[in-house]
Chains A and B, each alone.
Chain A
Amino acid sequence: MWHKISWRLLRQELKRGELTIMAAAIVLSVTAVLSLSLFTERLQAGLLSRSAEFLAADRVLSARQPIPTEWLEQAEQFDLTTAQRVVFNSMAFANEQLALIDVKAVSEGYPLRGELRLAEEPYGAEISVNDVLPNPGEAWAASALFQELGLKIGDTLEVGHSEFVVSRVLTYEPDIGFAVFTDSPNVLIRYDELAQTGLIQPGSRVRYHILYAGSEAQLNAYYEWLAPQLSDDLHSWRSIADGDSPLARSLQRAERFMLLASLLGVVLAATAVAVAAQRYCQRNYDVVAIIKTLGAGRRQIQQIFILHLLLLTFFSIAVGLLLGWLIQAQVIDWVARQLGTSLPTVTGRPYLLAAGTGFISALMFTLYPLLRLIQIPPLRVLNRQLTGTDRWRWLHWLASAGAIYALLVFYSQHWLLSTAIFAGGALAAGVLLFVSQLFIRVSRQAGMQAGSAWRLAMAGLQRRARSNRVQMLSFSTAIMLLLLVLALRHELLADWQRQLPADAPNYFVVNIAPTDVERLQQEFAQRDIEAADLYPVVPGRMTAVNGVPVRDEVTKEARGDEADVSAHNEEQREGFGRELSLTWRDTLPPNNRLVRGQWWEPGTTTAQVSVEAEVAERMNLQVGDELEFNIGGNVFQLPITSIREVNWGSLQPNFFMIFNTAALEDFPATFITSFNLPEPRKSELFELFKHFPQVSLIDLDALIEQLREVIDQVSVAIGFVLVLVLLAGILVLLAQVQATLEERQQELVILRTLGASSKLLNRSITYEFLILGAISGVIAALAMELVLWILQVQVFDMTPSLHWRFWLIGPISGAVVVAVLGRLACFRLVRRNAAELIRKLA
């Protein structure tokens, strides 16, 4: 029988709109989570696949020895597309000159992702080619090699035992990466002509790669098969997300932002459910008292209302899933058009996540209100003041906190991040409660001196202090989270903009001889090219820390000074006893921040070194440790006097080790710099560097362009996330305003009966919400600043900053939005005449 009663109650209440807010809150939480996670997952998949161009594949297997053909065959079993790539250094001979080159031998299909670009002359106009390799007997070479060896198209290049006709200029390879110091000009040949060169001998330093392309599922399945056969020493399996290139960093940061913003959205939606759940139960106090009076036992009440809630939850989740799917389908379509790409479909996880969110929030947040509801004494039929026991309130906090924490973990699958956000949130909530209490008390005193509408508003605030405190907590939380997402978005975009200003250097010049420095600077000045500082580079090894020799530790750090996803650098990272690029300098370079110790005074004669923070952390180096270096046979020790953070995302020369001038200046060095040259002036390059044959030029345009593209895509995504978070925030506010309506109704009856004009009532309501909103806004801005500071430092690796405008935006937008919502919600109430209201109350 009880299920019939339950169903009947639900059906009628739904029909009569009495469950709208509760249902809407669940629907929104489900919709928000579904569309957010579908969207972010699809977008991430889309970004990853675009970014895969940087690997020229979706995954790359690298090995230091030839890869068994069985592995290649097995990939075909998994329906993966593959290509082979072998990379090694060699000497090339042409025009009676020798040059060190990087040979890249590739098989049909290369590149699996992205494209090659070629030109008919060095630094000439580019043409894109897909799925094309040099003809047999031909090779394609980078512009720099043309410059170095004085090559022309059609010249012959000797590599090992083979001779190749250089038929094209290689201007862009998707997997070129960003390696400044080690990069010799690339020469691309066919994989099937590799053996003839005779360069691959046992013991040769060669990297073998298999490139893979396919769906995530296929790739994962293949990797599962492959993983047990891989050896950590010999093999590495990479995807773009693993890298620490500027691109991978941007992606990771964007991913973290989306995750965080979505989490905040989820928390907001859950808050709306919590507010609505409380009201849902309060509305049923009378019903429970009546049913109990009519003879229902506690068990029957439990069954009726648990089923009622479950039915409501199911219904709302279903609507939410449908709505979420529709929204993201529309948005995806729009975004895909904006980005000019198609976004891949994803797994069922978002659906599970969304439904789970609906369940967790509906059930956990109603636990206590439901418990209280079940406890309502039947005597309430004679005494409306009875609201049951309050001694389980701690359970409410526990269940709500548990629900939010569970949602955080459930959604992010990241214990640490969830715990950090949760702990921060709990602390903030405590402070918020205290501060809002204080504000209400102060405003009451201020209100006593004000006009009647103000006085009424203040009295209202004070009278409902307890519910207002909670209300203010959720207003503040909502406003804070909105401000947070807004500020974070701003910071993130600004940071990217800073990283990639319009005049970001797009060329690196390395190998500048000391004798050429002055001439080169003159050339730059004549051509009005603004170059970054010149950095001397001295190759050297770090051999010991505090007298204890280092071996592997050094090689791990000898990772090529600029982060890189290319094949070359993988070798560097794993190489043994590799040289570092050392530099000296009087001042701290731009994009570097001192975290420990002190930077030396210019002209200091005592030798000392400054170490990059990540290296210091990994190798456990402290200020004061003695490092031993070996430069060209000269072994010397010097102390670490400072540790620096380096912005590796900046397209500037960056170094792990910087020495003071006295320590290094006597060693032979070459110089490096970077500069910006707009695309139309590209043709000047050949002329400019003609006189500096040993100088190498590295073109970063393609990398920068791709980085910009990714940032644009992420910006669109962030905008969408912001809209959803905004919607969730508005719903919280609405639910909260709605929740106090019944209480207000009673008060309005009295005031109305006593002859208060609707103008006075309207004003007092507006003022009350205005004050509530403004105070919440102030608290929100304060809390946001604190949380943002922690996030910037801890999660996003950004420099923290103050956001003054949000101190104004917070209270003003809070006051306006809350007042408008409050006025709208109370609009009908105020228009009703006293008799109508009394009847409704009865």
Chain B
Amino acid sequence: MLIQTLQLEKEVTTQEGILHILEPIELAIEAGQTVAIVGASGSGKSTLLSLLAGLDIASRGEVVIDGVALSQLDEEQRARLRAEKIGFIFQSFLLIPSLTALENVMLPAELAGQKNAEQQARELLVKVGLGERLTHYPNQLSGGEQQRVAIARAFIGTPKILFADEPTGNLDAATGRKVEDLLFAMNQESGTTLVMVTHDLQLAQRCQRILRMEVGRLTEVTADVA
């Protein structure tokens, strides 16, 4: 099991009292699986994603990534884990505006201390069709191009897991489809485990499993949707 949660809960304290964002969640994802988490806004999908990726800490319960319990790790160790095993794609691309496409893609590999970061980044950018735009800055690229840079960045260093948060949410339909195709093609090629949060049912259906999040409760709906 590559990703596993054990009675994972998240709550926050507000002025009105304690708010349960995630009810106890049991989830197991095999290596190589593609999983979509769907649900309405505010249902808790992004919170689940942040807990799975070690960006946030659970109130109770456990997340186990590749045999490592995240609650046992401090922030530094979680960062190291992300550097080694996890790639990210975000709705708003989250490229660093002052770095070129190439430098953005190189960044995770460099942070992980890999030697051939530039070589890998070039190849990936060529693969996503941006071989000619290596030295362009994010603001010189269209939304679709920026997301392709983000995809290239996500795959550098061959992570075991890829977390995607609404990867096509900021793109028009046509561009969105192209980006989807690219994402799934690359994912298939590298055999990465993909966990994707999306509103888009059509996109979700391209995943092997679909999970629905409703008011903090997670249910498997793969069969229903299929």
Instruction: List chain A positions with a Cβ less than 8 A from chain B.
Output: 1-2, 4-5, 8-9, 12-13, 16, 18, 286-287, 290-300, 377-379, 381-382, 842
Contact = CB atoms under 8 A, between A and B. Distances in A.
A4 B75 CA distance: 24
B99 A12 contact: yes
A8 B99 contact: yes
A293 B98 contact: no
Interface string B95-106: 110111001000
Interface of B: 46, 49-50, 53, 55-56, 75-76, 79-84, 86, 88, 90, 92, 94-96, 98-100, 103, 107-108, 110-113, 117, 137, 153, 165, 170
The 10 closest A-B pairs by CB, nearest first: A295-B83, A295-B82, A12-B98, A294-B108, A1-B110, A297-B79, A297-B76, A13-B98, A296-B111, A379-B55
Contact of A298 (B75, B81, B153): B75
Given A294-B111, A295-B112, A381 B94 contact: yes
Given A12-B99, A379-B50, A382-B165, A5 B79 contact: no
Scoring A4, A297, A298, A300 by chain B CB atoms within 10 A of each residue's CB, the highest score goes to A297
A104 B46 CA distance: 96
A489 B153 CA distance: 61
B112 A378 contact: no
B103 A290 contact: no
Contacts of A296: 79, 83, 111
A293 B110 contact: no
Contacts of B100: 12
Nearest to B76: A297
Contacts of B81: 295
Q: Secondary structure of the A side of the interface?
A: helix
Given A379-B50, A382-B49, A300 B111 contact: yes
Contacts of B79: 292, 295-298, 378
Contact of B84 (A292, A295, A379, A842): A295
Contact of B107 (A5, A12, A18, A381): A5
Contact of B103 (A8, A294, A378): A8
Given A5-B110, A287-B96, A379-B55, A295 B80 contact: yes
A336 B83 CA distance: 63
A379 B96 CA distance: 16
B113 A1 contact: yes
Given A5-B111, A290-B95, 10 more contacts: A12-B98, A12-B137, A290-B96, A294-B107, A295-B83, A295-B111, A297-B76, A298-B75, A381-B88, A381-B94
A842 B98 contact: no
B86 A295 contact: yes
9 contacts: A1-B111, A2-B111, A9-B98, A290-B95, A294-B83, A294-B153, A296-B111, A377-B55, A382-B49
Nearest to A299: B76
B32 to A, nearest CB: 22
A284 to B, nearest CB: 9
A1 B112 CA distance: 9
Contacts of A13: 98
Nearest to B114: A1
Contacts of B98: 9, 12-13, 16, 18, 287
A293 B82 contact: yes
A18 B110 CA distance: 24
Contacts of B153: 294
Nearest to B91: A382
B107 A378 contact: no
Contact of B110 (A4, A12, A298): A4
Given A290-B96, A381-B94, A295 B108 contact: yes
Contacts of A12: 98-100, 137
Contacts of B165: 382
A293 B55 contact: yes
Contact of B80 (A2, A8, A297): A297
A384 B96 CA distance: 15
B99 A9 contact: yes
Contacts of A16: 98, 137
Contact of A382 (B50, B99, B170): B50
A842 B86 CA distance: 25
B76 A294 contact: no
Scoring B75, B81, B90, B94 by chain A CB atoms within 10 A of each residue's CB, the highest score goes to B94
Nearest to B165: A382
A2 B153 CA distance: 17
Contacts of B95: 290
Scoring B49, B53, B79 by chain A CB atoms within 10 A of each residue's CB, the highest score goes to B79
